Amino acid sequence: MHTIIGSLLTVVVITFSGTLPAADPDAHDVSKWLARTVEAEVPGLAVVVTKGEDVDVSTGAGDANGVLLGPTTPFRIESLSKSFTATAVMQLVEAGDVGLDQPIRRYLPDFKLNDPRAEGVTVRHVLNQSSGITDLTLGFDQYAEGPQTLAFAVRQLRSTKLAHEPGAAWSYSNPNYWLAARLVEVVSGEPFSDYLEANIFEPLGMHDTSHRDVYDASAAVRGHAFVFGRTVGIDPPRSFVGGSGGVISTAADMSRWLRFQQGANLPGTDESILGQAPRDEMHRRQAPDGGLYALGWYSGPPASGGVERVSHSGVGAGVNAYQGLFPDGVGVAVLQTSAVPDAYVTAASLYDWSIGEPLAEPPAPPGPWTDVLVTLIASLVVGLAMRGVARSQRWAWRGRLRWRLARLAPLIGIVFLMMWIPSIGSRIVGRTATWVVLLSAAPVLVAAVWTVAAAVAVLVLVRLARLLGCDSRFAFTARCLPREDSPTRSGRTGRA
């Protein structure tokens, strides 16, 4: 019966469609697929797919300042840098200079926190992000312009408290990797950037890759944010990124990095860079409570599903990157000049392509309608606030003074609530969310919040000035209210 019904449905489909739809010939063409991605308003990206010792794809699409993006275009890879820092530490472990389960203070005498439990923080705790250092207990804004060296960055942690016992829980926080990078500096006796250059980048043939403690905007392709569906160029903040970020690389160089991590033999490289055993240890899942974090990598499928892989993502001001070590020796890296859409989505499609599946529909960035809606709502609120300003004297005359003052309390609360959005967001997600970070991610939304907060604050000040009967530049008359003994005032105090 099911066979008969299926046959009848097939006949109906063929009858009404004429012919069965042909397979999309571009569904296996990566270059055309990337071109369609750029046509969807993604400003630009470069990708690489490796398999074993081979490079299946290394290309780019889009442009930056009129220059076409390609496999040798330098990108900020943000938190993908942590895998390089972890590799540097594992080189010292393999050489016997560092013990993974030794207290980090054994190698960093200047490591001091405002917490006696810091004595128990080991090198492994720092690398697998279980040290107890969290964004919420740092005691300072890690994204503010501040330290320019790893030594100074580590000293800045002296006000930091631990959120939990070392090794008891997992909390992702960039300063863990400041400590790891500083450890490499102290043990090796050379600046961290120089160490990476001499011991990882050059031996692997990654000649266009470098590291810096503070990003130089001119050293890499510019990032972008979306405003009403259109891209706007933005530069990285001058915050400290040594060890936790700071690496600038290309798709071509990342092809060598992926193959090295997968254990492939790369021609022209020194095979003694790092043995397979320490590489396997880096990729081994070892965060507390069954977490997916390894050492500078995640190990396992993403929350959205998919195959097991070892991977890491990186997001910064106007950029997005992803690297993944997939089954069967497949490696994928995506470097993108916008923070959205998620580079992981592109990488997942490229992995499917590498095993013979058609490429999925290219991911699309956000359209203009969210920004339009936010702007309309903000305009409405600002309009109501200005209407309140224009009617402030009439408002002040209505009712008793203490009730008018009480009516201002909710408005004051709204202003403070909006200004505390970064702090509230940080507590919800457990990561630092400053205005600088939020502005690079959602410029229109942040501008709307600031504008609404300013308009409501003006309304509060004007109404307060009217109530107090003072001279004020916010008032529209020289006298905000009649005197308390005025017949007009005394005759209206009973009105609500």
Helix, strand, coil percentages (3-state) for the chain, rounded to 5, are 45, 15, 40
Q: What b/e sequence results for 442-454 when a residue is b if at least 16 CB atoms lie within 10 Å of its CB, and e otherwise?
A: bbbbbbbbebbbe
On whether the CB atoms of residues 114 and 159 are closer than 8 A, the answer is yes
On whether the CB atoms of residues 408 and 464 are closer than 8 A, the answer is yes
**What crossing angle do the helices spanning 30-39 and 343-354 adopt, rounded to 10°?**
160
Extract the runs of DSSP E, i.e. beta strands, from 328-451: 330-336
Whole-number pLDDT of residue 426:
65
Provide the phi-psi class of 64: left if phi over 0, else alpha when psi is between -120 and 50, else beta: beta
Angle value at C-alpha 437, between 431 and 440, nearest 5 degrees: 145
CA distance 166 to 129: 9
Which residues 6+ apart lie within 8 Å of 288 measured at CB? 130, 167, 168, 169, 170
User: What 8-state DSSP symbol labels residue 242?
Assistant: B
Find residue 249's DSSP bridge partners: 75
CATH 3.40.710.10 assigned to domain 28-354? The reply is yes
Q: pTM of the predicted model, to two decimals?
A: 0.85
Whole-number pLDDT of residue 4:
36
Domain positions in the chain: 28-354, 369-490
Closest C-alpha among 227, 242, 289 to residue 447: 227
- Which two three-digit tokens encode residue 48? 């690489």
On whether the CB atoms of residues 134 and 126 are closer than 8 A, the answer is no
User: What 8-state DSSP symbol labels residue 448?
Assistant: H
> For residue 327, is the peptide bond before it cis, meaning its omega torsion is within 30 degrees of 0?
no
Phi, psi dihedrals of residue 369, rounded to the nearest 5°? -70, -30
Q: Which of the residues in the chain have pLDDT under 70?
A: 1-26, 268-271, 399, 426-430, 470-496
- Which two three-digit tokens encode residue 357? 């599946």
CA distance 330 to 264: 11
